[in-house]
Amino acid sequence: MDQLGLARLQFGVTTVYHFLFVPITIGLAFLIAIMETIYVRTGKEEYRPLIQFWGRLFLINFAVGVVTGLLQEFQFGMDWANYSRFVGDIFGAPLAVEALLAFFMESTFIGVWNFGWDRLSKKVHLLAIWLVAIGTMTSGFWILTANSFMQEPVGYQMVHGTAQMVSFGALLTNPQLWVEFPHTILASYLTASFFVLAISSYQLLRHHYPDLFKFSFRLASIVGLISAVLVIVVGDLQATHLETSQPMKLAAAEALWNTTSQHAPWSVFAIVDAKAQKDYAQIQIPDMLSILAYKRLSGAVEGIHQVQAQYVKKYGPGNYVPPVAPVYYTFRLMIFAGTAMLALAAYAVYLLKKSRFAEKRWFLRVLEWSLVLPYLANSAGWIMTEVGRQPWVVYGLLSTAHGVSSPQSVSATDIALSLSAFALVYGSMAIAAIYLFRKYTFMGLDPTTNQPESVTDKDILLAGSKS
Amino acid sequence: MLNVFWFILIAVLFVGYFILEGFDYGVGMIYPLVSRNDHERRMAINTIGPLWSGNEVWLITAGGALFAAFPFWYATLFSGFYLALVLMLVGLIFRGVAIEYRSKMATESWHRIWDILLRTGSFLPALLWGVAFANLLQGVPINAQMNDVGGFWSLLTPYTILGGVLSLLLFLAQGASFLTLKTTGELRAASLRMAKTLLTSVLIVALAFGIWTANLPTLDHRATYDLLTGLGWLSLFAARWMIQNRQQWAFLLQSLMIALSTSGFFVGLFPHVMISSVSSHDDLTIYNAAANPYTLHVMTIVALTMVPIVLAYQVWTYWVFRKRITPQEHLEY
């Protein structure tokens, strides 16, 4: 693979990996904050170990999210120096604001929360977790402000071949941002809801503290259902927005080689052959794509060939078609996973009446396994969004090939070395994280085992005798 | 004007980062040397437990500010020091995870793995920051396209290695000193002995590095630099003298040393941000590496609003966790 290919692979792998940990952080902080609010308002002391249980799982996750985020910030300069020079004063600003406004807040107050159980009043402690929840969400907002500029550049002017910011307000009112941000945040709440549902189901199946885990099950199924509905509504708006902002991505997501008739059908599934530029074994719903794209029964959707021809006219000769098959399949994977989560959350809420969910053991078993769904949907969503943007790194302004660092500074060997280093580090971290997740999930709330390292009398005597 | 303001703000962010993460890198490196059993090791790690992640954000903010205010500096520096940064990031990643994960299992082999990673992960950035800063003062091969064409091995010269040793020792001493403030008993006594030895060696290396730097041909504002490093030596000397009886003052003086040497570096560099060893035409300065005035203006408003708030709640955190860690304490990490 060449230098550009390696840099892209590194970015893709590290970003998708980072995003395995981000949504759960955003969503779980929010759910824990709600639980703690209920705990403080009702004064039910038995909720405290439950909140601490979720807090431990949160922290195992948060640690990896933070440290992989560091690499995310640095690698724009490392692997994508020319991109950084091109958009530096637009793209850097939201990153810096994120650090100042959000990241300081979440990192500081998660320390306060974790260590402050016995040092702070209940209300201040509750405030700390809300600040963490707001911080993680704000963090997402600023990162997506930066990403939205790459998808849909606004508020800039070109000066000497670089993009310069002329309106900060335009960055914040970017239409792309206002479909992308709610979609991502809601997907995070959905992710955390399924995380809590899956683990609560596990505990309920084994009759571990059923009253407590029924409480978290209830909360997660309600938040899960609301966010599943909203994530689909906003996702639909996002797809509609593509029609105007990135018609090529929409065409690729549908594997639509040629412009459709006025009544465009939606392809449920097809086998995409990008070489022959044809789709086989189509299963279609008539008129559905027109409805999705225009919110009415008719309307033609442009095909890849037609958009390509327009882009050649607009940007000069070149190939403007992204890899169609991955975009098509990941888009479907996201939609199917999202729909499945909606159905599961709806059924869970339906069972809430009279707490019948605890008796439906088959359903709890399904929920245990459903944990994989949000991860599939999140990763697929990002792959679809970012691969569908190719060959642009900044849509219509800078191609990915021009954004990479100069090979004089960063050779293919350098990137290959770093990629293997990060693969090793990330791989071993994943193993450790999954191991701990399982261990702490299995351990549950059992007070004799939930703190394997709590200080025993023997420890104190030992330390005391030597000092 | 704003270009100067942002240069100063980035200097301030690095000063904050080095003082705060300085002691927690230090703790991460010496805790195995000053503790005799696992319980003491955990006590040492818990002194930085609630603070380290907030401290690390100083680096993240410095990186973000560099990107926003001086995108050309950010791009040239980060791509130019590529493999060194990879090493540092690998260190930082392992370190953060190690602090969080070490205590999550009670077996000895589990502890041993994370101990190694925590130590290495604290050692690499502590060493590499000195190497990086020394390179910036010495100059690196930047060509007319603003690309550093040197590669990894060109970063290592006797001067830059000495810079690395200095930052390593400074942070180690800072960590030892912090442990004397935050612990009790034998752990504290061992840290105190360590801090005294370390302070002597920092003084020697700082002297050598300072004199060498003062004679670099690339250095700007030599007189101010001399004044700052001179004051730095004095405070370090005073810290060495005070550590036996007044650890608080010694710790503050050591922090002052870090602040002075870091500001000395930035003063020595100003108005350059990267010096080209190929041709002075290719130097990056706070003017040709900066973002446009509009961005700087917007960012200035954000920074002036947010920095005081951030400082306020970080100070509050330190106040909440001001107590010493005793052997009887519940240990989170």
What pLDDT does A462 receive?
Answer: 44
> For the stretch A308-339, what's the b/e string if a residue is b when 16 or more beta carbons lie within 10 angstroms of its beta carbon?
beebeeeeeeeebbbebbbbbbbbbbbbbbbe
Minimum Cα–Cα distance from A404: chain B residue:
B79
Question: Which of A60, A95, A460 comes nearest B100 by C-beta?
Answer: A60
| CB of B311 closer than 8 Å to CB of A443 | no
Distance of CA A286 to the CA centre of its chain: 31
CB contact under 8 A, A120 and B320: yes
Beta strands in B159-231 (DSSP E): none
- A94: nearest CA partner in chain B: B68
What are the backbone angles phi and psi of residue B141, rounded to the nearest 5°? Answer: -70, 90
Tens-digit pLDDT profile for residues B175-187: 999 999 888 888 8
**Proportion of chain B above pLDDT 70, given as a percent:** 100
Are B96 and A63 an interchain contact pair (Cβ–Cβ within 8 Å)?
A: yes
Q: Residue B124 contacts by C-beta under 8 Å, 6 or more apart in sequence?
A: B87, B88, B90, B91, B92
In contact, A127 and A113? CB cutoff 8 Å = no
CB environment B18-44: b (16+ within 10 A), e (fewer): bbbbbbbbbbbbbbeebbeebbbbbbb
Q: Which of A227, A226, A185 is nearest to A29 (CA)?
A: A185
Minimum CA–CA partner of A456 in chain B:
B328
Please name which of A284, A283, A253 lies closest in space to residue A381, comparing C-alpha atoms: A253
A90: chain B residues, CB-CB within 8 Å: 295
Q: In b/e form, how buried is each residue of A384-394, taking b as 16+ CB within 10 angstroms? A: bbbbbbbebbb
3-class SS at B183?
A: strand
Dist CA B205 CA B200 (whole Å) = 9
- Residues from chain A that touch B147, judged by Cβ atoms under 8 A, are 81, 405-406, 408-409
Contacts of residue A130 in chain B, CB cutoff 8 Å?
Answer: none
3-class secondary structure, A159: strand
Q: Along the 467 residues of chain A, how does pLDDT read in single tens digits?
A: 899 999 999 999 999 999 999 999 999 999 999 999 999 999 888 899 899 999 989 998 988 888 898 899 999 999 999 999 998 889 988 988 998 889 889 988 998 898 888 888 999 999 999 999 999 999 999 999 999 999 999 999 988 888 889 899 999 999 999 999 999 999 999 999 999 999 999 998 988 888 889 999 999 999 999 999 999 999 988 888 888 889 899 889 888 888 888 888 888 888 887 777 777 777 888 888 888 888 888 888 888 988 999 999 998 898 999 999 899 999 999 999 999 999 999 999 988 887 777 788 889 999 999 999 999 999 999 999 999 998 999 998 899 989 999 888 888 899 999 999 999 999 999 998 888 888 888 887 754 444 444 444 344 444 443 33
Average pLDDT over residues B262-277: 89
Largest CA distance in chain B: 62
Number of C-alpha atoms within 13 angstroms, CB side, residue A30?
25
Pairing of strands B284-285, B272-274: antiparallel
CA A232/CA B71 separation, integer angstroms: 37
Cα–Cα distance, A59 to A115 (Å, whole number): 12
Return the pLDDT at A207.
84
Longest dimension (CA), chain A: 85
- Smallest CA–CA distance from B88 into chain A, residue: A71
Q: Tell me whether residues B93 and A452 touch, CB distance under 8 A.
A: no
CB pairs under 8 A between A and B: 268
User: What whole-number distance in Å separates Cα of residue A445 and Cα of residue A219?
Assistant: 18
Q: What are the DSSP E strand ranges found in chain B? A: 272-274, 284-285
CA distance B41 to chain A (A): 11
Distance between A140 CA and the closest CA of chain B, angstroms? 15
Residues of B in contact with A115 (CB under 8 A): 49-50, 321, 332
Does B150 have pLDDT greater than 90?
Answer: no
B191 touches chain A (CB under 8 A): no
Are residues B57 and A103, on separate chains, in Cβ contact within 8 Å?
Answer: yes
Interface of B with A in 47-66 (CB under 8 A): 49-54, 56-57, 59-61, 63-66
Give dist(CA B126, CA B25) in Å, integer. 7
User: For residues B178 and B30, what is the distance between their CA atoms, to the nearest angstrom?
Assistant: 11
Residue A122: which region, alpha, beta or left (left: phi > 0; alpha: psi -120 to 50)?
A: alpha
Contact criterion met (CB below 8 Å) for A279 and A302: no
- pLDDT at position A448, please? 44
Query: What CA dihedral angle connects B268, B272, B273 and B276, to 10 degrees?
Result: -110
- Minimum mean pLDDT range among A56-60, A327-331, B131-135, B217-221: B217-221
Q: Cβ A73–B64 below 8 Å, yes or no?
A: yes
Strand, coil or helix: A152: coil
Q: Is A393 helix (H, G, I), strand (E, B) or coil?
A: strand
A394 forms beta bridges with A398
| CA-based nearest residue to A217, from A229, A231, A230, A199 | A199
Distance CA(B307)–CA(B64), nearest Å, equals 14
Instruction: Determine, for residues B67 and A92 on separate chains, whether the beta-carbon distance falls below 8 Å.
Output: yes
Say how many residues make up chain B: 333
- Is residue A19 within 8 Å of residue A378, measured between CB atoms? yes
The interface predicted TM-score (ipTM) is: 0.87
Phi–psi pair at A46, nearest 5 degrees:
-65, -15
Full DSSP string of A52-94: HHHHHHHHHHHHHHHHHHHHHHHHHHHH-HHHHHHHHHHHHHH
User: Which pLDDT score, from 0 to 100, does residue A446 have?
Assistant: 59
Residues of A in contact with B101 (CB under 8 A): 60, 63, 432, 436
